[in-house]
Amino acid sequence: MIKLKGIKKFYKTKTGLVNALNGIDLEVNKGDIFGVIGYSGAGKSTLIRLINMLEKPSEGRINVDGSEMSTLSKKALRDARKQIGMIFQHFNLLWSRNVKDNIAFPLEIAGVPKRERERKVKELIHLVGLEGRESAYPSQLSGGQKQRVGIARALANDPKVLLCDEATSALDPKTTEAILDLLVDINQKLGLTIILITHEMHVIKKICHQVAVIDNGIIVEEGEVLDVFRSPQMAITKDFVKQVTSDSESEEAVKLIKQTYPSATIARLTFAGEAANRPVISELLKQEAIDVNLLEGNLSQTQRGALGTLTLLLDGEAPKVKDAITFVENQGVVVEVIQHASEPVS
């Protein structure tokens, strides 16, 4: 659906050339929710703006649904943009128009007749759950409601692609959840391809099918969300994964346990998809004669299955502990040993 090939983007500034993007290759399949995650300044904002040509690439090709974006005439580009909806961190609604008229705005631009516009606006207000607020002005709406207007507006011309530029970053956690649910809902109902950029791994975990990690203008890691969570390769990816699989409080707890039992083995198990649903631990206990102490656990749902982590304290004879770890690994669980048992002093 969307193909980026060899994308580079430089900016000229007073102090010289700044490389925002250093060669990006990316492919997004139809109907997928594709997340791009990176810290601020990594180039993700530039990346998403290239897809609808709000920024022009310095090098490389962008293909959206078969049309080569950089070669389009101005008129053809405007028509292509009507097929690509976009929502923004700060909503970017027209404050001089009420909810209805904000949603009708892209339809007016596309020259849709008044009657048809009214019908479509009604349908969209229902889709995003804003019934009863049609005549409110943006200043009278909450952040979540504003983003709902933004989403309705982005969907007005029945686009095939929706670009989300940090769409939930200005919202509180509860509202974020609701907006993410709405995005999944429209992805499924309308078969829309969604590309979103964010700095919150939580957003990726909750709604994305595919993820790309961007750092310093290049994609350092890419893949199925579950795979990336199960075995992140790069340090930056591990940092992002940590955002959702462990909170600082449990890190503290593990630290304390390490001090209390300096001679035990402590391992973090990451279950993803199929493995999360199997009784791995009970099988382990039947198999190996060791003691298992559960230190910390966490289970969450992604679009492609469950994702869980367990931090265990394994106590027993060294070879048996080793066997136990091998056994767990063979069940398709990723094991990271945080602390190795020290040799018993005897």
Partner 1 sequence: MLQNLFPNADWAEIWKAIIDTLYMTAISVVATFILGIILGLLLFVTAKGNMFENVVIYKCVSAIVNIFRSIPFIILIILLIPFTMIIVGTMLGSTAALPALIIGSAPFYARLVEIALREIDKGVIEAAQAMGANKWQIIWKVLLPESMPALVSGITVTSIALVGFTAMAGAIGAGGLGTLAYMDGYQRGNRDVTLLSTIFILIIVFILQIIGDYMTKRLDKR
Q: Which of 28, 38, 42, 81 binds partner 1 (CB under 8 A)?
A: 81
Q: Which of 13, 15, 73, 96 binds partner 1 (CB under 8 A)?
A: 96
Dihedral over Cα of 105, 110, 111, 116: its sign? negative
Q: Which of 33, 69, 86, 164 binds partner 1 (CB under 8 A)?
A: 86
DSSP string of 46-68?
HHHHHHTTSS--SEEEEEETTEE
At 147 the three-state DSSP class reads: helix
What is each CA distance from 330 to 259, 273, 280, 284, 334, in whole angstroms? Answer: 30, 15, 10, 11, 9
Contacting range for partner 1; rule: CB under 8 A; set: 13-21, 56-64, 77-85, 202-210: 77-85
73 touches partner 1 (CB under 8 A): no
Q: In DSSP terms, which residues pair with 291 in a beta bridge?
A: 315
Instruction: Find out whether 281 and 310 touch, Cβ atoms under 8 Å.
Output: yes
Instruction: Find out whether 309 and 271 touch, Cβ atoms under 8 Å.
Output: yes
Q: Which is nearer to partner 1, 83 or 331 (CB)?
A: 83
79 touches partner 1 (CB under 8 A): yes
Alpha-carbon span 92 to 251, nearest angstrom = 39
Q: How far is the CB of 78 from partner 1 (least distance, A)?
A: 4
Q: Which is nearer to partner 1, 145 or 265 (CB)?
A: 145
Q: Which of 18, 30, 68, 94 binds partner 1 (CB under 8 A)?
A: 94
Q: How far is the CB of 99 from partner 1 (least distance, A)?
A: 12
80 touches partner 1 (CB under 8 A): yes
Q: How far is the CB of 217 from partner 1 (least distance, A)?
A: 21
253: left (phi over 0), alpha (psi -120 to 50) or beta: alpha
b/e for 311-331, b at 16 or more Cβ within 10 A?
Answer: bbbbbbeeeebbbbbebbeeb
Site map for partner 1, 129-148, x if CB under 8 A? Answer: --------xxx---------
Number of Cβ atoms within 10 Å of the Cβ of 110: 13
Judged on CB neighbours under 10 Å (0-12, 13-18, 19+), 100 is buried
Q: Which is nearer to partner 1, 77 or 190 (CB)?
A: 77
169 touches partner 1 (CB under 8 A): no
Number of residues counted as binding partner 1 (CB under 8 A): 30
Q: Which is nearer to partner 1, 43 or 85 (CB)?
A: 85
Strands (E), the chain: 2-13, 16-28, 33-37, 59-64, 67-68, 84-88, 161-165, 193-198, 210-215, 218-224, 265-272, 291-302, 305-315, 334-339
Q: Which is nearer to partner 1, 195 or 307 (CB)?
A: 195
Contacting range for partner 1; rule: CB under 8 A; set: 30-38, 86-94, 117-125, 178-186: 86-94
Q: How far is the CB of 66 from partner 1 (least distance, A)?
A: 17
Number of Cβ atoms within 10 Å of the Cβ of 183: 25
239 touches partner 1 (CB under 8 A): no
Within 106-125, the residues that bind partner 1 by CB under 8 A are: 106, 108-110
3 touches partner 1 (CB under 8 A): no
Fill in the amino acid letter for 57.
P
Instruction: Find out whether 193 and 208 touch, Cβ atoms under 8 Å.
Output: no
Contacting range for partner 1; rule: CB under 8 A; set: 16-24, 88-96, 206-214, 268-276: 88-96
Q: Which residues bind partner 1 (CB under 8 A)?
A: 52, 54, 77-82, 84, 86, 88, 90, 92-98, 105-106, 108-110, 137-139, 153, 157, 163
